[in-house]
Amino acid sequence: MSWLIDPFSAAFVLRALVGGVLVAAICAVVGTWVVIRGMAFLGEALGHGMLPGVAVATVVGLPPMAGAAVSATAMAGAIGILQRRGRLSFDTSIGLLFVSMLSLGVIVVSHSRTFATDATAMLFGDILAVEAADLVVLAVALAVTLVAAAAFHRSFVAAAFDRRIAATLGLRPGLSHVVLVGLVTLAVVSAYQAVGTLLVVGLLLAPAVAARPWAPRIPATMALAALLGALAVAAGLVLSWHAGTAAGASIAGAAVLLAALSGILRAAIHALRARRPDASGDELMTKAPEPRGDTVAKALPLSADASRA
């Protein structure tokens, strides 16, 4: 078992593990809502939308995380403006800004002649370079995520179920959407150093996808996704240590592998139950998750009239 422990005897790998676990927790909370609400394209677009901010910050000597935050926040705000004033759909607004920001980032990178190493870290992350100050920032980001997710939980649930019901109950679905986009932005920026702009969606989505079939309620899905994300971080770091692979890519690959294994295991259980229809001993553990509408309806105490709407 020493091959599992040895990598974490190095201080920089241990810091990477702590930072990765914090990022996994942030992505688990936000990624669960991204999967439920079908906002994967937004997460991917914001991941690429960070590129110009990171590039400019690197060129002028500022912290890349600051550039990522400014760029992603500007893109999220621009999406809202285009959607409201330009009468464009949500995905159309994202698509236009996605291409614009990615093009701008590539222009900045191609214009600079000192980007060879920085571009690799920018695209694929450099979690092994996490410092103690970065851990503090990630801890604060996790605290903000947990507080916001708890405060707007009922609004998120109601908006996912029916925006009209949410508005009827005074839960302000428009505000909850803005907050959720802000949380996605925070998660993407937080995960930037761990897995870079290209792989950030893997850590945002894969643990939530892997956890969703096994947890009947949203908070349980978040907790299980955080555990699976932490497992992916640890497995990716061990693989990187022994095989000499890129740490960020290894972590993202491990997360996607867990999602695939979860799907395979789920399919195997369904196949086994189909062959033995009378076997009910494990029915509670293998019960399929309820449809989103039913799950949301149970999570939110709606009035009798609203629940029939």
Count of CA atoms in the C-beta half-sphere (13 A) of 213:
18
- Over residues 57-88, the pLDDT tens digits come to 877 878 877 888 888 888 888 877 776 766 66
- Over residues 148-198, the pLDDT tens digits come to 999 999 888 888 877 787 778 777 778 888 888 889 988 888 887 777 776
Read off the tokens for 230. Answer: 């932490």
The whole-number average pLDDT for the span 248-274 is 92
Sign of CA dihedral 65, 203, 33, 137: negative
pLDDT at residue 302 is higher than 50: no
- Over residues 99-120, the pLDDT tens digits come to 888 888 778 777 766 555 456 6
Backbone angles phi, psi at 280, to 5 degrees: -125, 10
DSSP letters for 59-127: HHT--HHHHHHHHHHHHHHHHHHHHHHS---HHHHHHHHHHHHHHHHHHHHHH-SS-HHHHHHHHH--G
Read off the tokens for 261. Answer: 């294994």
Q: Whole-angstrom Cα distance, residue 253 to residue 255? A: 5
- Over residues 224-246, the pLDDT tens digits come to 999 999 999 999 999 999 998 88
Q: Whole-angstrom Cα distance, residue 218 to residue 297? A: 12
